[in-house]
Amino acid sequence: MFDKQAYTVFKFGKRIDQSAQNKRELLDKALPALRELFRLDRVYFFDWQQERALLSLKMMCKREYCMDMQEDISVLSEPDFLKELLRDGIADSTDLNYPAVYVLLKWKRPMMIMDGEEVKNVIKTRLGVLRLERFKKERVFTEKEKKLIKGVAAEISRNLTRTEVGQHNQQRLNIATTLNDLATVFASSLRLSDGLELILQGVQKSFRFDRVRLYQTSHDGRKIKSVLGVDISGEVTNQTEDDLPEDERTLLRDIFDSGEAYRVIHNVVYIPLKVQRNKVGFLTFDNLLSRRRIDYLDFISLKQFSNQIALAIDNAELFERVQELSNYDELTKLPVRRFFAEKFADEMARSKRFDLIMSLIILDIDLFKQINDNYGHQIGDWALREVSQVLLTSLRQTDFPCRYGGDEMVIMLPRTNDDECKIVAQRLKDRINKITIPSRYTDGKHVTLSISQGIASFPQDGQTPQELFDKADKALYWVKNGRRGTFAVYREVADDLPKEK
């Protein structure tokens, strides 16, 4: 037997069953179709906020158009009406002087929620209400029409579920694609600071926050090493802990100590970045200028992405620490030859470009082989550490010493001429001459250390790193040939050196 009502519902469903990007787009199709089907004068859509006992008016459709509306209607004083609507799915209006009915919409909406540190996917049931109005009093809604209205409402509800699920999945896909692209850019960056800047710029651009900041901290969370920030202009700012007000520093420490997964203060979201027990920083974002609401899905997605950022920062810092360790000699704590060569080439290029001067000292410990042979290699290592400590505590911050090999050490002195370099060499000579090998190792003999030093200066003695090194090495050769414990400048002794063939 042909069921006319079922067929009408089917046709209505086919009419609105088109791909809609969101709920608003779907209702733009459904409400005019509903008005036409039941020859309505007006139809309204409300979100039903049960926890607040509010019907929140969102849309109204009359004639050929729909418009957004915003009005909250309290239904706290109408429990019988709500019970009837929930029980029967439809209820007659009691507060209007013309025919109107309310019909219930019920659909599913996927959501992501925070459960402690864990992000969970859940399905929430959403309620909405349609109010159908006819202005002529004699055009009341019949029981047959009400049955059909409920069938059509169920069809709208099914389409709302499909639309909400599709929109949620598309949003997640878009965000996942964006975050994956950002992670790829981060991973391809050669330096941690470059990668963090690209990440912040990408987050700000993709999520359209007014401001995004990343605080890098020490692992105990007590010291802020740097603060990178990006605002709507896309410009990157870099601050240190000293640039931050004390109340902000106190707040960050408090959030870390609390163990919270996140905190929102004055519409600023703070997400701690942790790897197991290691604290590496904070990701914060806000829309304080635009006042635009931060979408919860954006927040949840960034909360998940923050784990990748934290792990990447931790790995990058570990790599930098390992790399830094590989740049320094374990025994003397001085930079190694390879690291020195890089710095030396850079400084030489800078000196040429800006017409600057620089000097180089090559030194070694006098009679070092005899120290090893007479007192043992442990005392030889002790002597190397003592001399290295003098270098580390006697030079300027801009000077760059290194252990070149064996007992030979090299010092680069930027923006220093040979006369100034002689002052440094004299200081090193005097301080190292005061180092005495412990008498328990020398059978009571008084044995002190001394060094020989050769000096060369740019641009007079050489135009390339190799030329300058060769000249300083020749000056050292001159000193070691009968003048141990002293120093010499290449140009001053060049005439006394053997002539090259």
More confident residue, 307 or 139: 139
pLDDT at 278: 74
CA distance linking residue 467 with residue 473, whole number of Å: 10
CATH code 3.30.70.260 for 337-496: no
pLDDT at 187: 61
Q: Are strands 358-365 and 400-405 parallel, antiparallel or unpaired?
A: unpaired
pTM of the entire structure? 0.53
Could you give the angle at which helices 192-207 and 143-188 cross, rounded to 10 degrees?
160
Q: Span 189-324: which CATH code?
A: 3.30.450.40
**Residue 193 pLDDT exceeds 90:** no
**Residue 294 pLDDT exceeds 50:** yes
Partners of 454 in beta bridges:
362, 488
pLDDT at 27: 92
**Strands (DSSP E) found in 346-448:** 358-365, 400-405, 408-414
Within this chain, domains 4-168 and 189-324 share the same CATH topology: yes
pLDDT at 116: 62
Q: Across residues 78-93, what is the average pLDDT?
A: 87
pLDDT at 1: 47
**How far, CA to CA in Å, does 229 sit from each of 116, 240, 294?**
27, 11, 18
pLDDT at 81: 80
User: Is the separation of the CB atoms in 248 and 219 below 8 Å?
Assistant: no
More confident residue, 148 or 330: 148
pLDDT over 90 percentage in the chain: 43
Q: What does the domain layout of the chain look like in residue ranges?
A: 4-168, 189-324, 337-496
The superfamily CATH assigns to domain 4-168 is GAF domain (3.30.450.40)
Q: In what order do the strands lie in the sheet with 408-414?
A: 400-405, 408-414, 358-365, 451-458, 487-489
Lowest model confidence (mean pLDDT) among 35-49, 94-108, 251-265: 251-265
What does the pLDDT look like over 317-356, one tens digit per residue? 766 666 666 788 889 989 889 889 989 999 999 999 999 9
Query: Which segments of 434-496 does DSSP mark as H helices, in order?
Result: 465-480, 490-493
Collapse the DSSP code of 85 into the 3-class scheme (helix H, G, I; strand E, B; otherwise coil) and give the result. Answer: helix
